[in-house]
Amino acid sequence: MTARILVVDDIPANVKLLEARLLAEYFDVLTAENGYEALAICERTQVDLILLDIMMPGLDGFEVCERLKANPRTAHIPVVMVTALDQPSDRVRGLKAGADDFLTKPVNDLQLMSRVKSLVRLKTLTDELHMRAATARAVSMEQGLDTNLGDEPGNILLVDGRASSQERIARALKPIADVTCMSDPQAAVFQAAEGNYELVIVNANFEEYDPLRLCSQLRSLERTRFLPLLLIAEQGDDNLVVRALDLGVTDYLMRPIDPNELIARSLTQIRRKRCNDRLRASVRQTIELAVTDGLTGLHNRRYLDNHMKLLIDRATARGRPLSVCIADIDRFKLVNDTYGHDAGDAVLREFANRVRSAVRGADLACRYGGEEFVLVMPDTSGEMAASVAERLRMIIEQEPFRIPGMDVFLSITASLGIASILPAGDSPEALLKRADTALYEAKRSGRNRVVAAAA
C-alpha cells in the first residue's frame, strides 16, 4: 500500500522520527513545521493522510484540523493528531474538530502503522466515490451532491456481553442515537444485516467468544461490508486493536470509556457513513442515468448496444431462440408539426408505457432513437415474437393517446418488424438489420402492421 502522508510538527526531531517510520513502510512523506504551511501544502498537493501535532506556534493543531474539515477540497483527508497531550478533554476536543484519531506520544509503532494503513484504505474508497460523483456532475448527468447530512439521531447496534455495560453505553449515546443492544454475537450478525444501522459498536468483553470473529463476519457480508465498526478494547490490549484495524474495523476506544469521547467517535462514524451512502447513491444514479432514456424511462441505445450481444451469445450457446422487434410510430413527424414537441414527447412517454405493458419481465425494452423502439425477447421464437408484436400493435391502435394540458386525443398506430437469430449464430448488427428491413416493408406496405423478416 502506498500513499502520500503529511507530517506536521514544529519540532524537527519529531518530524524526522515519524518520517523515518513511514518511509520504512514505503509511504511518500511530506513535512510541514507549522499549521499555515500544512494548509498551503494541502491546497496545492494531493495528501492522503495527515499526522498533526497540536502544540505549535501560530495555528495550533485544533484550528488546523477545523480549517481542513471546513474546506470541501480537504474535508475528507483523514487526520491523526499525534501529541503529548493526554487528557480526555483534549482527545474529545480533537475528535470534535474533525480528527479521525488521537495518539499520545510516545506512539506505539505497530499501532500507528495499523491506524495509518486503515485510514489510507478508507481514504482510497472515499476518493473513488468522490471521483465518480464529480465525473457525473462534470458531464451534467446529475445535480451537485447535497452536503447536508442531517442532524437526526443515528441508529446504532451495540453488541456487548454484559448487561451493565450495555446500559451505561446506551445511556451515554442516548442524546445522539437510538441504540439496539444485543448480547449474542451470532444473532447480532443477522440483526446488522437486516437492520438499517449506521454504526456497530462491539465491546470486547465476551467470556468465551472472540470479538474479532464478529468483526470479520460483518466485513465479509455484502450488506454490512461498508458499515462502520467501533471496537471497545481493554487499556493496553494493543495487539487486539492492531488486528482489528487490519480486519477493517474503522475506529476503536479504550476502557475506561469516556462518554464524551464515545459520543464524538460515534458521531464521526455516523456522519462518514451518511456521506459515503450519499456518494454511493450518487454513483448508482449515475449508472442508471447512463443507460436510461430520460424521456421514457426505458433503457437507451447505449445499454442495448452493450447488452444485446450478451443475450445473443447466451441464446446461441444454449441453443435457445431469441427474437427482436423494432417498433416505429407511424407519421410521428405530423404530431410534432401539428401539436408541438411537448405533445410529441407525451406520445413517446405513453407509447413507452404501452410497450412495458406488452412485454415480459425477461424482455429488454429500449428506446432506439427518435420514435423507434426495440424489444429483445429471449427464449422467443419467430412465431411467438409475431404474437407479441401483434398484441403491442393492437394496444397502440385501440385506445387514443391523450395529450396532457390539451383537449386532444390522438389516434396513434405503429409499424413493427421482427427477426430471430439464425441457428448458426448471429451478430447484433445483422439481427437488427433484418428487423429493420422488415420494419421498412411494414411501412412500405401500408403501415400499422407487423412484418417478419425472411428466415
Q: Which residues are catalytic?
A: 371
Distance from C-alpha of 372 to C-alpha of 343, rounded to nearest angstrom: 17
Secondary structure E strands in 44-93: 49-52, 79-83
CA distance 35 to 61: 7
Cβ-contact 18, 7 below 8 angstroms? yes
Looking at residue 299, the DSSP 8-state letter turns out to be: B
Cα distances from 414 to residues 319, 390, 440, in angstroms, run 32, 10, 12
Q: Is 350 helix (H, G, I), strand (E, B) or coil?
A: helix
- Strand ranges, E, within 70-216: 79-83, 101-104, 154-159, 177-182, 199-203
Dig out the grid coordinates for 455 from the structure.
428466415
CA distance 66 to 268: 14
Dist CA 50 CA 82 (whole Å): 10
Any residues with CB less than 8 A from the CB of 102 and at least 6 apart, and which? 80, 81, 83, 90, 91, 94, 95
In whole angstroms, what is the distance from residue 322 CA to residue 409 CA? 36
For 53, 77, 180, the CA distances from 57, given in Å and listed in that order, are 11, 23, 45
**Per DSSP, what are the bridge partners of residue 231?**
202, 252
Nearest to 255 by CA among 201, 298, 301: 201
> Exposed, middle or buried by CB within 10 Å (0-12, 13-18, 19+), for 211?
buried
- And the C-alpha cell for 183? 448480547
